[in-house]
Amino acid sequence: MTIKFGIIGTGEIVKNRFMPAISLIDEVQVTALMDVDEKRAKALATEYGISKTYTDPQHICEDKNIDAVYIASPPNAHFSQVRQAAENGKAILCEKPMAPTLLETRAIVDVCEKEDVLLMIALTSRFAQSHIKVKELIQAGYIGEPVLVKIEYFYSITTIDGPSFTINQFRLQKNRGGGALLDIGVHAFDLIHYLLDGEIVEVCAYSSPLTLPVDVDDTSVVIARLASGSIANISIGINLVEGKNGIDLYSPYGAIITEKSFSQEPTGHVKSFVAGKWMEHPIEPIDAYRTEILHFLDAMRDRNVLGPSGNVGEKAMRVCFAAMKSNETGQCVATSDL
Ligand SMILES: NC(=O)c1ccc[n+]([C@@H]2O[C@H](COP(=O)([O-])OP(=O)(O)OC[C@H]3O[C@@H](n4cnc5c(N)ncnc54)[C@H](O)[C@@H]3O)[C@@H](O)[C@H]2O)c1
């Protein structure tokens, strides 16, 4: 049976990643698009032969010809759109960051639980082939339990946007859910939770607008402690030259190291150092968005399929807000204290 999708928000992620990925999956059909900018929705609809477009999220959520919605609008719009979709019984794939506040983040989870609809958060870094390979190596006991994790994840918003760059965009506005912590920190924290099968319980952070005149962090360093006692050091920046963009995991028995694994492209590298030898671990160049969509479809068919649920997403969001509070107060902050 074909699963019918509606998409809310038709910006860069949808145009460049989601539509190219979903249009190659046989069992799915995108039947409607919605954007507050009608021209954008119509242009994409024409490109992919999609017959319906909307400018009101309520109308796409009420569309009976849709089983699932993918919400890829700015984070400040997510809660109301998740609620509208949930109240109409749709399965929901919601983009990160879930919302600009912890209160709205929790409300997203609550409304989906109340309406008993599937909610998955698009924590795409979990679905990168490099990170799937790292998970396999850890699960196989390759280096034992990693006790120290390092992440470096930078991109340059001014370079990517080029001449169209403006600070008047959601990624650089606090009330719309912007800032490096929410934009990419959430991927880093979730990946640590996923790979170590644990949870960050305390953070100490420096987090500032160091390069742009904005009211959110563009550069952050977070030191984190997991419930297991393992520790992590996470450096993120959204207006820096691209860095190693990888994760390193260390134990007394070895190390697993990735490069370019935080990437929109399936191009990462994974290597390990065990028993005095370096080894490369080749990865298949499979698009993470394809893997993410296939996982969501599996979860639609079988709600027992585990993945980045709303509760899993909230845990990573909690770390972001704890880091913000740590930066403001100059104190380490327990995620349970928010
Ligand atoms: N999973 C990932 O790795 C990943 C990567 C990129 C972006 N994202 C997320 O996807 C979302 C969109 O990002 P983007 O880069 O496409 O942004 P974008 O600015 O390119 O596009 C946003 C689109 O939403 C539309 N829009 C604005 N307000 C809206 C509303 N209230 N309802 C519906 N549409 C609205 C805009 O007109 C625009 O077309 C964000 O939450 C972002 O963090 C996730």
Among 132-136, 192-196, 244-248, 302-306, the minimum mean pLDDT is found in 302-306
For residue 15, the CA-to-ligand 1 centroid distance in Å is 10
pLDDT, residue 304, reads 85
Q: Can you tell me the distance from the alpha carbon of 29 to that of 5, in angstroms, rounded to the nearest whole number?
A: 6
What's the CA gap between 228 and 231, in Å, rounded?
Answer: 9
| Pocket flag, ligand 1, residue 13 (CB < 6 Å) | yes
How remote is the CA of residue 187 from the centroid of ligand 1, in Å?
16
Residues whose CB falls within 8 Å of the CB of residue 257, separated by 6 or more in sequence, listed in order: 246, 247, 248, 249, 270, 271, 272, 273
- Mean pLDDT of the 120-141 span: 97
Report pLDDT for 1: 85
**Tell me: the pLDDT tens digits for 216-248?**
999 999 999 999 999 999 999 999 999 899 999
pLDDT of residue 143: 97
Give pLDDT tens digits for 51-108: 999 999 999 999 999 999 999 999 999 999 999 999 999 999 999 999 999 999 999 9
Mean pLDDT, the chain, whole residue set: 97
Distance 13 CA to ligand 1 centre (A): 7
Instruction: Give the span between the Cα atoms of 250 and 272, in whole angstroms.
Output: 10
4 band by pLDDT with thresholds 50, 70 and 90: very high
Residue 177 has pLDDT above 90, yes or no: yes
Q: What is the pLDDT of residue 298?
A: 96
Please give the domain boundaries of the chain with CATH numbers for all domains. 3-122 (3.40.50.720), 125-287+317-337 (3.30.360.10)
How high is the pLDDT of residue 53? 98
Closest CA to 297 of 23, 19, 25, 7: 25
CB 112 within 8 A of CB 139: no
- Average pLDDT of span 320-336: 98
Task: Show Cβ contacts of residue 303 under 8 Å, excluding neighbours closer than 6 positions.
Answer: 118
Q: What is the pTM of this model?
A: 0.98
Instruction: Check if 185 has its Cβ closer than 6 Å to any atom of ligand 1.
Output: no
- Identify the burial level of 305 via C-beta atoms within 10 angstroms of its C-beta, where 0-12 means exposed, 13-18 middle and 19 or more buried: middle
Q: State mean pLDDT over 179-194.
A: 98
Yes or no: say if 192 and 232 are a contact pair by the CB < 8 Å rule: yes
| The two three-digit tokens of residue 131, written as one number | 């990170």
Q: Are 99 and 236 in contact (CB under 8 A)?
A: no
What is the Å distance from ligand 1's center to 184 Cα?
14
What is the per-residue pLDDT for 305? 87
